[in-house]
Copies of this chain bind each other. A is one copy, B any other.
Amino acid sequence: MVYKTKITVKPLSLILSTAMSKISYSIKKKEGALIKDPVMLVKSYPKMHVTVDCAIFGFDDNELKVLLIRSDLEIYKDLWSLLGDNIADDEDIDAAAYRILKDRTGMQDVYLEQVKVFSKPDRHPGGRVITIAYCTLLNTRHHELMIHDNEIHWHSFSSIDEMAFDHKEILLASYQWLQKRIQEHPLGFNLLPEKFSLRELQTLYEAILGVTLDRRNFRKKFASMKLLIDTNEFEGDVPHRPGKLYKFNFEKYEKQKNRWTGIDF
C-alpha cells in the first residue's frame, strides 16, 4: 500500500520576533576588544528554569501505551502529565533524561532520544520554564514501576485526552517523531520482548503508523532484511496455531546500519 509518514514542517512563517534590543554582551565595552573573563561574561547572562520531560512509550495488549503520572499541582488536579524533572547544575541533559527513566522505571539500557524544546513563556503556570522533550521506548514487561506518591500508570495512547501543562502537545510531537523514526530505524524492537512473533511485530507497526499492512508483504520485507534470527521456538498461550518466535539481530544491524536506508511501508 502507498504510505509514508507525513511530517508537518514549520512553514516559512512570519513569526514575529518580539521587539527587543540585544541583551547580551553588555559586559563588553570597547569595539573590537576581546573578553578576558568568560566567567564574568556568563554571569551577566539571564538564567531560566529548565526541565526534562519524557514521553515513555510501551506496547502491550496490541496497543501503544504511554507512561504518565498524576500532576501534583492543584490547578491540574486529576490531569496526567509526562515524567519530568529539573536538571542538576552539572548534569548533561541526556543524563537527566536517563536518570528520570531509571528512577521511575528501574530501566537503564533504554532507547532514548531528544525530540524538541518547548519554550512558550506561559507554558508553566508557575513562571517561565522551558522543557526539553525526550522520547523513550521500552518493553512494558521488563521493568518495575517505582510507585512514588504520584500514581504512575500505563495509558493507552489513543485514549489520552486532556493533560497537564502543554504535555498533550509534547506527547503529540513525540508520537509524530516516533512515527517518523520507526520508519528510519528499527526501533520497534525496543518495545517488544526479546523474542516475538511476526504478528506481534506487524501489530506494533500497524499501531504506531495507524495503518493496516498486508501480512505477506510485511513478512517478505522483514525476511529480505535478514535481521531476524529464527529461534525455532513457538508462541505459547495463544488460542490458535502458534507462530514462530524471532529475535532481532542487533549486532548485525549495528554493523550494517551505515548502509541502512529505512523501512518503507
Interface SS of chain A = loop
Measured CB to CB, the nearest residue on chain B to A98 is B17
User: Among the listed stretches A26-34, A152-160, A208-216, A236-244, which one makes contact with chain B, having 4 or more residues with CB under 8 Å of it?
Assistant: A26-34
| Chain A residues near B (Cβ < 8 Å) | 4, 6-7, 9-12, 14-18, 20, 22-25, 28, 31-43, 45-51, 72-75, 77, 85-96, 98-99, 102-103, 108-114, 116-117, 119-121, 124-130, 132, 149, 181, 184-185, 190, 250, 254, 257-262
3 closest Cβ pairs, A-B complex: A38-B126, A42-B126, A47-B47
Asked if A110 and B12 sit within 8 Å, CB to CB, the answer is yes
Residue contact A48 to B114, C-beta cutoff 8 Å: no
Q: Which residue in B73, B74, B86, B92 is a CB contact (below 8 Å) of A45?
A: B86
The reply to whether B48 and A17 contact each other, CB–CB distance below 8 Å, is: no
Bound CA–CA A10/B187 (angstroms):
11
Q: What are 28 A-B contacts defined by CB distance under 8 Å?
A: A4-B261, A6-B258, A6-B260, A11-B254, A14-B109, A15-B94, A18-B91, A18-B92, A18-B99, A20-B91, A22-B103, A28-B72, A34-B77, A35-B72, A38-B124, A38-B125, A39-B126, A42-B49, A43-B127, A46-B86, A47-B47, A50-B50, A89-B128, A92-B119, A92-B121, A93-B130, A114-B117, A117-B132
Assess whether B95 is in contact with A46, with CB atoms less than 8 Å apart: no
